[in-house]
Structure 1
Amino acid sequence: MSKLERDMNSYRAKLNLYTKELRKAKRDSWARHCESIENTSEAARLRKVLASNPTTPGYIKHPEGSWSNSSQETLELFMETHFPGCKNTDIPGSKQSNLLESTQQELNIEQIITEQKIIWAINSFKPYKSAGPDEIIPAFLQNALNVIVPWLRVIFTSCIKLRYVPMSWRKVKVVFIPKAGKPTHSTAKDYRPISLSSFLLKTLSRRTSMCTRK
């Protein structure tokens, strides 16, 4: 590019015009996106993106009126309130049950766990639902169907035959959401728990539960 003054001035003017048009296109695109939102889940996702200070539980009151003294105590109070009797235990391993012996039972499993039915189960989830501890959202599975479905069929079939659920699938992430309409959110009962588990387990569960209802 020529470094003559008139050429540099022309370059700067065109660069400024390009920058203005780019900003305008971004604003118009964002406006169209916001106007296209029609359901609650999309609006909630947008709010989460825009929230600079997302709502997180801090210190809350015990039933007798005293306040929790730490974040750990707050979490323990949430667990006692919403999951009474639940204990944190270390499970070093899990015994596998014997393989199903009945040929008829094995035949039924092969009919239930088919590649077409696994694809149906995976596609029944909304692509960007919140993931469990494994951080796998449905969109990941939906965009890799050709690769993962044959492997999932083998894994799901083995899970049922062995009556065994992989340890990583048993982990659940719980998020406590403030209940709408509450004047304050100072007690554990002012929140509701959302349990986020693995979509691999949900796929197997949805596949087998649909066949059970039939």
Structure 2
Amino acid sequence: MAMSPDDYRESLSALLPQGLAWPREPESVLQRVLGSFGAGLAQVDAHGDALLAESWPRSSYALLADWERVTGLPDECSVQGGQTLEARRNAVAAKLAARGGQSPAYFIGIAAQYGHVDATITEFRARRYGRARNGQRFGGWGWQYVWQLNLPAQTVEQRNSNDPFGEHYQVWGDSPLECVINKLKPAHTRVFFTYGGV
């Protein structure tokens, strides 16, 4: 907790030697000079306290641009210029806390962060002798590197008629989620997105 200017003035006054040349009355010229020093020291102390809040991105304000630079944000998957302060803070914190992974549970967790809590993953298999069962989906060898993220609901964003010329009236899908999944998926795989069930 930062000290007040009066606290600093009293501390500076306590360091002075004893005697008539060093008055202790608050209205004296010396004490007013020490009070002006105390105001500057209190301001530095307050900035030090504020710097503690900047050490964590969820409470950062002045250093948020530095946090974004360190984490590589905004990137091609984030909405540049349209994010709120809270959304920017959450993006930095999420990027710092992300551990990564290649399991279906990891990608289902990412979909849940984007509001698709009932998402599932379908993995395709290549046709192999002795492993196939009746009714099971088949594919060529290339299909062993393909998976599908099934999102439970169709996401439709309605547009306003006052939007600029060239804007679509409706946008289907969840392009930020698709961008993030395509960025984090294993490089040798391909992912398809389905909305509203399989």
Query: What TM-score range do you get, normalising by the shorter chain?
Result: under 0.3
Larger radius of gyration: 2
Q: TM-score, normalised by structure 1?
A: 0.23
Q: TM-score, normalised by structure 2?
A: 0.25
Structure that is richer in strand per residue: 2
Larger relative CO (CA 8 A, sep 6+): 1 or 2? 1
